[in-house]
Chain A
Amino acid sequence: MPTATRDLLPGTLEMLILQTLRGGALHGYAIAQHIQQTSQDVLQVEEGSLYPALQRLLRERWVTANWGISARNRKVRTYKLTPAGRKQLGREIAGFARLLEGIGRVMRPAES
């Protein structure tokens, strides 16, 4: 079942965007597409969440934005990970792993 990004835990979308950008600079539409495809349509990124999140990342200087040309030969704004963003991604991944582990411990007895 697809999950809209607004149902994610706070901050998760930022982490997904940073992770996506690790592979190289992308523009907004491509970021949304990438997350959707990689998650095999489980995660759907709404534009209403994507752009505020991108603005927050810009404000924290974890990404930079530049105008470039997309694969479809359109003038688009592409976002690129900064070194600070890379560090932040590391922190978030570690935090997320701990979170998953915690959730896992709570959920396991119910499963068994």
Chain B
Amino acid sequence: MNPLSRWWQRRRVERELAAEMAEHLAEKIGQLREEGYSEDEAGALARRQFGNLTLLQEDSRAAWGWNSVEQFGQDIRFGWRVLKKTPAFTATAIAVLALGIGMNTAMFSAVKAVLLSALPYPEPERMVQLNQVAENGHLMNVSALDFRDWRAQSRAIESMAAYGISGVTISGDFAARRARMAAVGSGFFSVMATEAAIGRTFSDEEQKPGGPAALVLGYELAQSVFGTAGAAIQKRIRLNGMVFTVIGVVPPKFDFPQNTQVWLPNDLSPDNSGRSAHNYRIVGRLKPGVTVRQAQADMNIVAARLAKEYVDDQREGIRVTSLYDALVGRVRPALLVLLGAVTLVLLIACVNVSSLLLVRSAARRKEMVMRRALGAAGGRLVRQLLTESVLLAAAGWLAGLTLAAFAVRILRATAPADIPRLRTLAIDGGVLSFSAGLSLLAGILFGVLPSLHSSRANANDALKQAAGRGEGHSQRRWSQLLVVGQMALAVILLSGACLLIKSYWRLAHVETGLASAGVYIADLTWPAAADGNSVDGAYVRRAGSQILTQIEQLPGVQEAALVHGLPFEGAPDGAFEIEGRALPADPHLYPDADYSMVTAGFFRAFGLPILKGRGFTDEDQRSSEQAAIVNTAFEKAFFPNGNAVGERIRFFGFDRKPPFLTIVGIVPDVRNEGLKRPVFPQVYANYFQHAGTAMDASLVVRGPASLQPRIKQIVTFLDRDTAVNFESMDSLISGSVTRERFQTALFALFAACALLLAVVGIYGLLSYTVTRRTSEIGIRMALGANGGTIARYLLRQGSVLVAAGMALGLTGSLLVTRVLESMLFEVSATDASALLAVTGGFALAALAGCYLPAGRRPLIHQKRYALNERENPTSAQHARNLRRIIRYNQGLIAVVGMDVLAARPLEHAGVIAVDVIGVL
């Protein structure tokens, strides 16, 4: 018989044992009868010798090793009954746990999606990103020439591929739309070790200059445009007006570079600007068994060799980063901090439930004493109580999963695009087992203290308490400790939240320098010229002017402009020379400025006044002299005497022999590098004078949003292959801080939960104190304490705990908030005002938690039974009166001012008052 079938037969074994023993007993009685005992005597003697039948059966069954399993089943049934008997307690505990477990589950699924999931490519640990690294540690893209040398000379990296990314408008027999595109060099898909899911990837022929115009589509895009991914193959679609044939569709999970949906072949022809044209990103695959560190050492050798060979323009090093780190390294600290915060919330929830259980354990003390008296071992009671708390945790887990499912949906909808892979989060098997394990752990964690406490119940104490003397000393001390602990943890979280909120507020209120309200932006791409790699300048000038003129004629539009290199979107920067000044010998010390191209309306649209000189005019377009407008920071940096107007500068790298730009005006600074970074010197060139150099532009319109459909018509009438999606400049700016907003909101949510739990904790403790001490409070009131005194007494008790919790929490937060440092913007991790706000806010909330039960002191029913000497009743009359009052007040608790036993008034009392205090 195997253990399982034995288990199923245990009922039969039990029945047989019982029958057998009954038989045995009968036989024994028979024997004794034969020996001459009377029937009663024989029965009694036999039973005495036999001992406890039930225990004997249990011992016999124990031989089979079923008891522990059976007891577990009993404990669960019993625990369930106990929990059902106290629905308010059970519901509170489950709600608290569900909050903690649910948020942890959701957060963990986010961490799993972003940090723990392997990259969806074969052998992802071998994949690396390669960058050029400047002396200041800044990572840069790589020139085609350098890439070729790296690929030829590296010994640790099996294969490398270069790619560039850009935005593109795709069109065809469907509505034009914008997508992210990667132009990939040969070998890209083999580095990624990915085959097309349908069709194929690029052939060598297609990778060559002038090869067939082929492209590969993302699975999602192919599906949404053509219905099924398979239908996309051999379809012709236009990219910026150029026709391409779809030759393949990548697998659904393929997402490299991030969010890309279109892949084109790129022949990587080295452009004129040589090694300083940092145009390409590099992805590589290490040889099997090679570590990132070894590859770094190998590339250091390559970098040193190249530096010797090209002394003039090769001073940068090479940085090898694992692709995983390159992808998620930036967001890891923030996610881990959030995970830590949410773990603290769970910890608070556990402490909270623990103190609830502790309170309940006092109420169950009599039960525990009874069970011990009946022979239950201490360990057995601990096990049963732990089973109860695990049962609670299991219920909390189920409720928490519901909450988590909801939270995950919200997270997915609000996930900022710059947290990679967050949108893939889901509650899968791994998350489920994690949260189940977490719940079990939580159940044991919050159950262990109360169960140890209860199982040690001592009959003597319990009897004393049964007399209504309030809670036990040690239980009260533990409850207070738990409440203080909860508050300390909550204060730590709140401090963190306050710092992040202050930081985010600073970030959101950075003076942008732009009058951005009421300005809308749409990205445009000009149709490619015949050679496919450039645009026709004359066409752009003609079409651009037409578009701007027609838009400005619309009623309500105040201004329209074209921009390349919009502030906040990372305008390119470049080195330049100033006419008449010698360049420093070291190219790294060349003057440097951001470079944008704008039309004349740009400054008016954004409310930027011309401080000196003039703005762009139509004259500029006809003039051979190229005009430039610079910002104040530029003038301060390079012309500290304030005479920049009329000076000429020349950027490198845009052309072989770039013409000089003449500075014609000065405008105020804007935060061109984004909200987090200081203003950088900026040069604005005239868009129309450089019309052939940029394939795309942002259309800037100051005017009512209701005109957007009209503007769309105007643009698409000129070029039907253009997708026009408007976004307000304000949302563009706030979009640059979505990650900060996201993490601040999450952290603040966690801190709010922590605060709620801590306040509920202290509220619970004090309400319980009030309930347990009704009689004490009643006596105090009878002795003359009024409601205010009692409330003050309770508040004093509460505020000692609040003060202790806050002191502990503030000390803790000074130690812990340091981990937030990298997430803070212009706020120190020990920012006094934020910590002060936490202290004040927390104290208020916690004292409110204290005040509620203090204000809700027990309803004390007072009856004044007054007698005076004139009536001079006899003792017997007193006793009768008193008995009547006692009967009337069923819940009589204290009789004060009278000798109760004798029912006789105390001496020396002129008017004797008997307060009968009953609890309603």
Contact = CB atoms under 8 A, between A and B. Distances in A.
Nearest to B13: A55
Interface in A42-59: 46-48, 51-52, 54-56, 58-59
Chain B interface: which size bin?
A: 20 to 34
Consensus secondary structure, chain A interface:
helix
Nearest to B65: A59
A48 B23 contact: no
A7 to B, nearest CB: 16
A97 B57 CA distance: 33
Interface in A2-44: 27-29
A48 B56 contact: yes
Nearest to B27: A29
A91 interface: no
Interface residues of A, number: 20
Nearest to A51: B60
B56 A28 contact: no
A86 interface: no
A29 B63 contact: no
B393 to A, nearest CB: 35
Nearest to B50: A47
Contact of B63 (A47, A59, A72): A59
Interface stretch (B14-22, B168-176, B487-495, B578-586): B14-22
Given A47-B56, A75-B23, A76-B20, A55 B28 contact: no
B27 A48 contact: no
Contacts of B55: 48
A105 interface: no
B27, B28, B57, B59 pick with most chain A CB within 10 angstroms: B27
Contact of A28 (B24, B57, B61, B64): B24
B517 interface: no
B45 to A, nearest CB: 13
B49 interface: yes
B51 A55 contact: no
Interface string B1-38: 00000000000000011011101101110100000000
A90 to B, nearest CB: 23
B560 to A, nearest CB: 92
B304 interface: no
B510 interface: no
A72 B21 contact: no
B62 interface: yes
B49 A47 contact: yes
A47 B28 CA distance: 11
Nearest to B20: A77
B23 A74 contact: yes
Interface string B245-263: 0000000000000000000
Nearest to B30: A72
A44 B850 CA distance: 68
Given A47-B51, A72-B30, A56 B63 contact: yes
B interface secondary structure, majority: helix
B20 A48 contact: no
A54 B20 CA distance: 12
B63 A48 contact: no
Contacts of B23: 27, 29, 74-77
Contacts of A72: 27, 30
B820 to A, nearest CB: 62
A70 B31 CA distance: 14
Given A59-B64, A76-B20, A77-B20, A52 B59 contact: yes
A110 to B, nearest CB: 35
Contacts of B64: 55, 59
Contacts of A55: 17, 60-61, 63-64
* Most A CB within 10 A of own CB, among B20, B21, B59, B61: B20
B27 A74 contact: yes
Contacts of A29: 23-24, 27-28
Given A29-B27, A46-B51, A77 B16 contact: yes
Contacts of B28: 29
Nearest to A50: B24
Contacts of B56: 47-48, 51-52
Nearest to B61: A55
Nearest to A58: B63
Nearest to A65: B16
B21 A51 contact: yes
B291 to A, nearest CB: 57
A76 B30 CA distance: 14
B59 A48 contact: yes
Contacts of B26: 74
A70 B30 CA distance: 13
Q: Taking each of A27, A47, A55, A76, which has the highest tally of chain B beta carbons within 10 Å of its own beta carbon?
A: A47
Contact of A47 (B16, B21, B30): B21
A29 B62 CA distance: 21
A76 B17 CA distance: 11
A47 B24 contact: yes
Nearest to A60: B63
Contacts of B49: 46-47
B559 to A, nearest CB: 94
Interface in B60-79: 60-64
B31 to A, nearest CB: 8
Contacts of A75: 23
A51 B30 contact: no
Given A29-B28, A47-B51, A74-B27, A52 B20 contact: no
A75 B30 CA distance: 14
B60 A52 contact: yes
A65 B20 CA distance: 11
Given A55-B64, A77-B16, A48 B24 contact: no
A75 B27 CA distance: 11
A5 to B, nearest CB: 13
Contacts of B63: 52, 55-56, 58-59
A72 B27 CA distance: 9
A47 B49 CA distance: 8
A56 B27 CA distance: 23
A27 B30 CA distance: 16
B18 to A, nearest CB: 11
Contacts of B62: 52
Nearest to A56: B63
B24 to A, nearest CB: 5
B348 to A, nearest CB: 49
A74 B59 CA distance: 25
Contacts of A56: 63
A62 B51 CA distance: 27
A56 to B, nearest CB: 5
A13 to B, nearest CB: 13
B48 to A, nearest CB: 11
A59 B50 CA distance: 23
B20 A28 contact: yes
Nearest to B6: A59
Contacts of B21: 47, 51
Nearest to A61: B1
A74 B22 CA distance: 12
A77 B50 CA distance: 18
B141 to A, nearest CB: 75
A76 B23 CA distance: 7
A105 B867 CA distance: 93
A72 B600 CA distance: 122
A52 B60 CA distance: 4
8 contacts: A27-B23, A28-B20, A29-B28, A48-B51, A48-B55, A76-B20, A77-B16, A77-B23
Ordered nearest first, which 6 A-B pairs have the shortest CB separation? A55-B63, A51-B60, A29-B27, A55-B60, A56-B63, A77-B20
Interface of A: 27-29, 46-48, 51-52, 54-56, 58-59, 65, 70, 72, 74-77
Given A29-B28, A51-B56, 12 more contacts: A28-B20, A28-B24, A47-B21, A47-B56, A48-B59, A52-B56, A52-B62, A55-B61, A55-B64, A58-B63, A70-B27, A74-B26
Interface of B: 16-17, 19-21, 23-24, 26-28, 30, 49-51, 55-57, 59-64
